[in-house]
Amino acid sequence: MKYESLLSVSFALLFLTASAVAVDKLPPDFKPQSATGSIADAKTIDASALPQRIAPSAAPSGRFAGLRPQNGLSDAQFAVLKQQVAQRRTAAPSTQALSPVSNSLLPLTPLPSIGFDGINVDCSSVIPSDMGLAVSGAWVVQAVNDCFAVYSKVGGLQAGFPKSLNALFGLPANDFVNGVFVSDPRAFYDPVASKFVISAVWENMPASTGRVYVAYSKTADPRGAWGIYSFNTWGTGYCPDFDTLGHGRYNDKFVGAVAVGVNLFTCSPSGFGSYVDVRLTFLPKAQLYKGVGFGSWYFYGFGGLDTIQVASVNDKNDESRALFALATYNISSGQCATGCSGLTVWAFSNVASRSVQDFSVYPEASVIVLPTSTYTLPPNASQPYTTNTIDTDDVRISGSVAYSHGKLWATINTDNGGGGPGILAWEVHAYLDNNGTGRCTGAFLNACPDLSGAGVDREMNYDVNPSGGIYNNAYYGTIYPDDTGNIVMVFNYSGYFTYAGTNYLTQRVTLAPQATFHDGGQTLRNGMAAYGYGRWGDYTAATVDGDYVWFSGMYARSDGLWNTGIGKAGYTASTQP
């Protein structure tokens, strides 16, 4: 780790030019720390033996039902901030803005190759869904609160599914009265090891603590046996929230790890308290996929940042020398209610090789802060015929970050300037040096590179302009590139005349950089009624499968409850721009 010229990550760093190199700017309290002891051997759960999930007769109730992503504010305090940004309009809204169109109008974005309904609220009655998605050559796995399901590649729900996530993890049913529950599922498919992975957090408020659960399929068939790990590296008095999930290449002994991050808060039987820090743990795949116990590295002390999204390396031909991550300013910056700018780019190397005997081989970490346009706490999204708005959370990177061939993609929700939310997206490149400070020698020679540079190649927006207003509201975008670098972004969309649906757009890698996406995209699933709850799924999901990108998101069905859609899209002809 570099310690020269240490300076805490702050707004003083935000005005660097894109070509400037801002290395050695780690927070003073940022340091790697090995996890205490070892993570125990995995339990084995046979998914085929789990019962099909049958919806409860009534929606779960209790003070912990439908919790939003934590930020240290009470619901009342956060609602005040949301109302303030909604009223702070820079211009009168209009209907002239980007919007998804019906499939019959054939915009530049191609029609979906596949589209089908995924898990819906009837599985668990939990509000909202959240979203994990993983796709192999044969199977599609979806995880929501608190169910998971396996589909064929043409949308055939497999026998006995959906099933309970709690049952997969070997946990009791959720108890939202006392605060014992599973939430925030994520997922990926490892194309090199042929394994599916699902993560989630488990809160145990009566005990003032929580755990992270990570499940991996023991074969390429997710309908069979799974290995189940869980860990807690923070003790009691703290609870995890809003886990993030990323991973590096399986057969690399230095970066072949699963990365799980959480936002830690103080907590007690009465609920969450103040924000503390990010805890980012790296689980070595070589041991994880064997089901054995292992030691791991975790990081903490991120200088007030939250929601560190480590990128997923889903292209089996990618051999990155570090795991990269992105994060915006958010909780410790007043929720960016008056505006923030800057994107932090992180590189973590030598994270899969922990040695308790030789601490000269501890992991390496470095960061660069890139300048961006200003982003602001997003107003809630509008929908027709109701004053009930859809919660758009804050400016954290909520969806997964994609990595492919040296580039990273991420999006956030932000204020569109006209009383509604829009999406701000980035394509980032990152460069590594040879071996960081040079401390990694011998068997670890060149295993500890640091960032040597980074830049924003594209900054794009979807309706981040006053004309979007309350009529055109886009939120919860997730971008993933195909094998050639063309991108697909899945997102939710609603407005004064449009029910909340799941939509997507595509864009060629050869398109010259521009401020907005080149069209409004297509609709995967139209909203069918006003959504009856404010709490919306906190992120969509996307992943690559060769020349196509798969994606999933939530939409409002005809009874005002939630359903999800799963789709696949990509370019199939040179005449598709």
What does the pLDDT look like over 367-391, one tens digit per residue?
A: 999 999 999 999 999 999 888 899 9
**What pLDDT sits at residue 355?**
52
pLDDT at 20: 31
Q: What phi, psi does 443 have (nearest 5°)?
A: -65, -15
Q: Please, which residues have CB within 8 angstroms of residue 153's CB and are 6 or more apart in sequence?
A: 114, 135, 137, 138, 139, 140
Provide CB contacts within 8 A for 263, sequence distance 6+: 69, 70, 240, 241, 242, 275, 278, 306, 307, 331
CA distance 295 to 199: 18
DSSP H helices, 116-223, are 165-169
pLDDT at 90 > cutoff 90: no
Residue 453 burial class via C-beta count within 10 angstroms: exposed 0-12, middle 13-18, buried 19 and up = middle
- 30-57 confidence digits (pLDDT tens): 555 655 457 889 999 999 999 999 876 5
Pull the structure tokens for residue 111. Answer: 């029609």
- Give the span between the Cα atoms of 500 and 65, in whole angstroms: 22
Residue 190 domain-assigned (yes or no): yes
Q: Report which of 374, 292, 287 is spatially closest to residue 333, judged by C-alpha positions.
A: 374
Q: Is residue 229, in this structure, part of any structural domain at all?
A: yes
Radius of gyration of the chain from its Cα atoms, rounded to whole angstroms:
22
Closest CA to 130 of 257, 244, 278: 244
Look at residue 288 and tell me if it is in a domain: no
Q: Please report the pLDDT score of residue 57 as a whole number.
A: 58
Closest by alpha carbon to 506, among 481, 472, 484?
A: 481
- 571 lies in a domain? no
How far is residue 309's CA from residue 261's CA, in Å, rounded to a whole number? Answer: 7
Query: Is residue 298 in some structural domain?
Result: no
Name the least confident of 139-148, 224-233, 368-377, 467-476. 467-476
Domain-located, residue 295:
no
Calculate mean pLDDT across residues 539-564.
96
Contact residues for 59 (Cβ-Cβ < 8 A; gap 6+): 65, 125, 126, 127
| CA terminus-to-terminus distance, the chain | 44
The rounded percent of the chain whose pLDDT value lies above 70 is 88
For 17, what's the count of Cα atoms within 13 Å in the CB-facing half-sphere?
2
pTM: 0.93
Pairing of strands 312-313, 402-404: parallel
Closest CA to 279 of 294, 255, 251, 298: 298
- Give the total residue count for the chain: 577
| Maximum pairwise Cα distance, the chain | 67
Q: In terms of C-beta density within 10 A (0-12 exposed, 13-18 middle, 19 or more buried), how is residue 159 classed? A: exposed
In a domain, 3, yes or no: no
- Assess if residue 291 is contained within a domain: no
Helix (H, G, I), strand (E, B) or coil at 141: strand
In this prediction, residues 536-558 reach a mean pLDDT of: 96
Q: At which residue do the structure tokens 């501890």 appear?
A: 362
Q: What is the DSSP letter of 495?
A: E
Domain that holds residue 426: 11-260+267-282+304-566
Cα distances from 109 to residues 399, 424, 458, 498, 523, in angstroms, run 21, 19, 19, 20, 10
Count of the separate structural domains present in the chain:
1
d(C-alpha 265, C-alpha 307), whole Å: 12
Reduced to 3 DSSP states, what percent helix, strand and coil does the chain have, rounded to the nearest 5? 10, 40, 50
Please name which of 268, 193, 203, 249 lies closest in space to residue 230, comparing C-alpha atoms: 203
CB 306 within 8 A of CB 330: yes
Residues 163-175 have pLDDT tens digits of: 999 999 999 999 9
